[in-house]
Amino acid sequence: MKKCGKGPFLVGLDLGTTGAKAGVIGTTGAVMATSFVSYETSTPRPGWAEQDPADWWDAATRSVRDAVESSGAEPGDIAGIGVSGQMHGSVFLDGSGTVVRPCILWCDQRTSSQCEQITRTIGLDRLSKWTGNPALPGFTAPKVLWLRKNEPDCYGRVRRLLLPKDYINLRLTGVESTEMSDASGTLLFDVGSRNWSGPMLDALEIPTGWLPPVFESGDRIGGLSPDAAKATGLPEGTPVAAGGADNACGALGMGVLEPGRIAVSLGSSGTVLAPTSTPVHDPEMRLHSFCHAVPGTWYLMGVMLSAGLALRWFRDELGELEVTEASRLGIDPYEILIDEASMAPVGCDGLTFLPYLSGERTPHTDPDARGVLYGLDLTKRRAHMVRAILEGVTFGLEDSLEIMRDMGVPLDEVVSGGGGSRSRFWRQVQADVFELPITAAGTSDSAMLGAGILAGVAAGVFDSVNDACSALSSNGERLEPDESTFGAYHKAYLRYRNLYPSLKMQFARDA
| Cβ neighbour number for residue 354 with a 10 Å cutoff | 24
Domain assignment present for residue 424? The answer is yes
State how far the Cα of 168 lies from the Cα of 226, in Å rounded to an integer.
Answer: 15
Identify whether 272 is part of a domain.
no
Shared domain check, 502 and 415: yes
How many domains would you assign to the chain? 2
Q: Does residue 9 form part of some domain? A: yes
Query: In terms of domains, do 380 and 394 share one?
Result: yes
Active site amino acids: 246
Is the domain of 237 the same as that of 325? no
SS3 416: strand
Are 501 and 359 contained in the same domain?
Answer: yes
Confidence at residue 5, expressed as pLDDT on a 0 to 100 scale = 67
Handedness of CA 253, 254, 259, 263 (dihedral sign): negative
Return the closest-CA partner of residue 18 out of 42, 43, 39.
39
Is residue 422 situated within a structural domain?
A: yes
Co-location of 367 and 469 in the same domain: no
**Residue 105, domain member (yes or no):** no
Question: Do the domain assignments include residue 21?
Answer: yes
376 and 241 within one domain: no
Buried b (16+ CB within 10 A) or exposed e, 202-232: ebbebeeebbbebbbbbbbbbbbbeebbebb
Ramachandran angles phi, psi of 406, nearest 5°: -65, -25
Check residue 225 and give its pLDDT: 98
Looking at the domain assignment, is residue 242 inside a domain? yes
Q: Identify any residues that bridge with 34 across adjacent strands, giving them in sequence order.
A: 23
Residues 397, 475 share a domain = no
The reply to whether 432 and 501 lie within a common domain is: yes
Query: Phi and psi (nearest 5°) for 442?
Result: -75, -15
Coil vs helix vs strand at 408:
coil
Say what the pLDDT of residue 367 is: 83
- Shared domain for 331 and 391, answered yes or no, is yes
SS3 at position 152: helix
pLDDT value of residue 243: 98
- Could you tell me the mean pLDDT of each successive run of 10 residues in the chain, 511 residues long? 73 95 95 96 91 98 98 96 97 97 92 95 93 93 98 98 98 98 98 97 97 98 98 98 96 95 92 96 93 97 92 93 92 94 97 94 90 96 97 98 96 92 94 97 92 98 96 93 98 98 94 82
The predicted model scores a pTM of 0.92
DSSP 85-104: E-SS-BEEE-TTS-B-SPEE
- Domain with 67, as residue range(s), is 1-40+55-86+216-254+446-480
Q: Are residues 339 and 452 in the same domain?
A: no
Classify each residue of 265-292 as buried b or exposed e, where b means 16 or more C-beta atoms within 10 Å of its C-beta.
Answer: bbbbbbbbbbbbeebbbbeebbbbbbbb
Question: Which candidate, 485, 434, 311, 430, places its Cα nearest to that of 382?
Answer: 311
Q: What is the CATH number of the domain that holds 350?
A: 3.30.420.40
With 0-12 CB in 10 A as exposed, 13-18 as middle and 19+ as buried, what is 368? middle
Q: Do 390 and 249 share a structural domain?
A: no
On whether both 389 and 493 belong to a single domain, the answer is yes
Inside any domain, residue 260 = no
The H or E element that residue 126 is part of is helix 124-130
